[in-house]
Amino acid sequence: MGNVASVANMLRHIRADEAIITRDPDVIRGADRVILPGVGSFQTGMQNLAEFGLIDALTDAAFVRRVPILGICLGMQLLTRSSEEGQLPGLGWLDALTVRFQFEQDTGLKIPHMGWSYVRPSRANVLLADGERERFYFVHAYHVICANKKDVIGVANYGFEFACAVNRDNVFGVQFHPEKSHRYGMSLLRKFASL
Amino acid sequence: MALKRILPVLLLDGRRLVKTVQFKNPAYIGDPLNAIRIFNEKEVDELVLLDISASRVRRAPQFDLIQECASECFMPFSYGGGVSSLDDFARLYKLGVEKVIVNTLCLTHPELVRRSTREFGSSSIVGSVDYRRTLFRHRRVFSSSGAVTGRGLLDHCRFLAEDVGVGELLLNSVDRDGTWQGYDVATIREIAEAVPVPLVACGGAGSVADLQEVLRETDANAAALGSMAVYQKKGQGVLISFPARHHVIPEEIEA
């Protein structure tokens, strides 16, 4: 997925002009908002965060400086304690696990879940529109299960209802791709950019 | 239960957008980037860009133009045309293409397509099948690049979905292309029921009723439109337009 470039494109489009693509921990230490897009598998995602020395910088941003942080797709899964897609532990900022979709043979549901789905806000929050049925574009084979229901702010349905947007304090995550969800994604990123 | 999709198919000839009739007589439509900006506003579910001359003249994808298109595309972006190596796939994904569409390569080097599904995931690869009816009304797989297969239409579709492992099929009726006479619903229904992957129906869309018919009365996962998306009406001038989703599927069929 070329989603890093796509996220940057949409941020430019909504005039969040100061957005920088970086893997430099010092840049993250100076950022007043952080987006963690996901590319590849959970295992390589965590490996890369460690290799580029980003875990400390991200933890500092989230819990010392307490700036808004948004994980997108794999980026949301990295916020959890662990994933069935890798042995390395996740960031563990949310009391949550990442598991693979599993369906009975006869449901006809494919993995990954790929396409547009409606998202229903499950509690009042600052990212999803209240009252409007927003739809977002998803591509994922794994989903997040939160131990604490209050961390879930949005759900979608694929075989069953799963958490597709999470928030605890200044930490946010979305399973879908706002950067590929035109108006709905722009609105979400705009809200995040103005937090 | 991802939602059913309605999407424009844009044809690239060189660096210009064109529209064909039965795969012939490409007529100039406009600049691809302008069109994509308008389709953003229309909130289309996905955008398909096909380079119709790349495979015919054995030219590589126009990566610079594709990158510009991807960067203007705030919806999922699928590209096909001239893809002939694993390296091409990798480059296209890196530029921001969500799904790579392969047609000629499925006929000439299916084993390469099979490897690409293993390397990049089948959900990122769409097998495209063009077909036309012969004098005796048999449906035959057609390739504008001249490639041939011994398989019949249904067998070829099954081969791509089950053996090669593509994650989606784009089924295009050459006879209906640019004619506004409606989809080949019977064939779409038959193939969609026979293959285990989502099917995008293409060729012949001329009205909202045509889209409704294919989305409601077949298992097709998506309705693609060409002429309807770029002309005012049949025989009239260029106008980028698109039917609103709530006009086509007010009941929001889930697939």
Give A124-177 pLDDT, tens digit per residue: 999 999 877 899 999 999 999 999 999 999 999 999 999 999 999 999 999 999
Residue B125, beta-bridge partner list: B100
pLDDT tens-place string over residues A93-117:
999 999 999 998 778 788 889 899 9
* Range B138-145 average pLDDT: 92
**A6: which chain B residues are within 8 Å (Cβ-Cβ)?**
70-71, 96
**C-alpha–C-alpha distance, residues B210 and B216, integer Å:** 10
Residues found in chain A: 195
Tell me if A123 sits within 8 A of A150, measured CB to CB: yes
Q: Pick from B87, B84, B86: which is nearest to B103 by CA? A: B84
User: ipTM > 0.90?
Assistant: no
Catalytic residue among A113, A140, A143, A179: A179
Return the amino acid letter for A85.
Answer: E
Taking residue B43's Cβ as centre, other Cβ atoms within 10 Å add up to: 16
Mean pLDDT of chain B: 94
Residue A174, beta-bridge partner list: A72, A165
Q: Pick from B168, B47, B50: which is nearest to B113 by CA? A: B168
Q: Pick from A50, A52, A94, A86: which is nearest to A69 by CA? A: A94
CA distances from A73 to A61, A66, B74, B132 (A): 20, 21, 16, 41
Interface test with B, best of A3, A4, A6, A155 (most B CBs within 10 A): A6
Nearest CB to B43 within list A3, A6, A182: A182
Q: Does B45 touch chain A (CB under 8 A)?
A: yes
A143 is catalytic: no
The pTM assigned to this predicted structure is 0.91
Q: Does B207 touch chain A (CB under 8 A)?
A: no
CA distances from A185 to A45, A129, B105, B186 (A): 23, 11, 34, 37
Q: Could you tell me which chain A residue has the CA closest to the CA of B99?
A: A1
Write the CB contacts of A9 (distance below 8 Å, at least 6 apart in sequence): A179, B71, B72, B74, B96
- Coil, strand or helix: which one is A141? coil
* Residue B113 exposed, middle or buried by CB count within 10 Å (0-12, 13-18, 19+): buried
A73 is catalytic: yes
Q: Could you tell me which chain B residue has the CA closest to the CA of A138?
A: B2
**A109: which chain B residues are within 8 Å (Cβ-Cβ)?**
1
Window 166-185 of A: residues touching B by CB (8 A cutoff) are 179-183, 185
